Amino acid sequence: MKRREFLQRALLAPGVAAIALPARVATQNETPRIAFTFDDFNVFDVPALSGPSRNRALLDALRANGLKAAGFVIGRYVEDPDKMRLLQQWSDAGHIVGNHTYSHRRYSRAGFSEFTKDILENEAKLKSLPQFRKWLRFPFLDEGVTADQRDRIRGFLADSGYRNAHITIDASDWYVDGRLRARLEKDRDADVAPYRAFYLDHIWDRAMYYETLSRQVIGRRIHHTLLLHHNVLNGMFLGDLLRMFRDKGWQLVDAETAYADPVFASTPRVLPAGQSLVWSLAKATGRFDTELRYPGEDGAYEAPKMDALGL
């Protein structure tokens, strides 16, 4: 879709453009589906887990469950040839490699020219990988805070052949990971079981929130995409997370399967733009203003809970 066509379509409706949301109400016996995506690819050693061991643990957990995920890579983190070899393992295993920009600047603060240059610089670094796709994950899920910012970047993506690799289930695994690593830095042999429990509870709580919200807004079950990070927390507990979703009756699907759901063609015309796609679609209706917090997820929401548990 070229820029002019995109902008014409985007101006058709004040709320949601580019998709007709089904009015059908989902039945109770439909199985919720979820795909797994991993941001950043910032690989480093910690006393309890080396970077290569973490990478292998993530890949092993996905392989054991027969899953093909999507990884959204920050280019500056794979300048080192050893780090690029770890990323190559993801591509070799059939996992999609997407663009998370070279520098991970927040779009609304970086400026259009700087941000688009960052996208293209990262594409040049990653495009030799067989599983590279022109899928962009916005850093901080920030798609702009003004209509001009939002519409200019959407036009650029359309002209450049990119899709917005939305997530539907947002979470703060990055914050739990930071608290876990801080504990392990003080005590390599610290008991990590409470962090595992908090992590699983947190992801499940967020999954149920966005699943319920999506059914209220869209009227059916969608294929969900969960935002995770290539971090120590997931290196330790991704297998447990996948098992949890299976045990609770969710179907685990490949990222490519999830992104084929028509909901991902949505272009909610809301401000600020970004966040979870479900969040944006809910905001576009004007019916959830008292419920939706901004940002949708943040460490500040989890800090008091972890403090209370001594984590």
> DSSP for 86-146?
HHHHHHHTT-EEEE--SS---HHHH-HHHHHHHHHHHHHHHTTSTTEEEEE--GGGB--SS
Residue 66 three-state SS: coil
* pTM reported for the whole predicted model: 0.92
Question: In this predicted structure, what is the pLDDT of residue 23?
Answer: 37
Q: In sequence order, what are the residues at sequence separation of 6 or more whose Cβ sits closer than 8 angstroms to the Cβ of residue 305?
A: 198
Q: What tokens were used for 190?
A: 């610290």
Mean pLDDT of residues grouped by 10 in the chain (311 residues)? 41 39 47 98 94 98 98 98 98 98 97 97 98 98 98 98 98 98 95 98 98 97 98 98 98 98 98 98 97 97 98 98
Question: In this predicted structure, what is the pLDDT of residue 16?
Answer: 43
Nearest by Cα to 170 from 209, 200, 136, 133 = 209
Q: How far apart are CA 292 and CA 255, in angstroms?
A: 26
Do the Cβ atoms of 15 and 286 come closer than 8 Å?
Answer: yes
Going along the chain from its start, the domains and CATH numbers come out as: 36-308 (3.20.20.370)
State the Cα angle at 112 between 109 and 116, rounded to 5°: 110
Do the Cβ atoms of 119 and 251 come closer than 8 Å?
Answer: no
Question: In this predicted structure, what is the pLDDT of residue 29?
Answer: 55
Question: In this predicted structure, what is the pLDDT of residue 7?
Answer: 39
Number of H helices, E strands in the chain: 12, 9
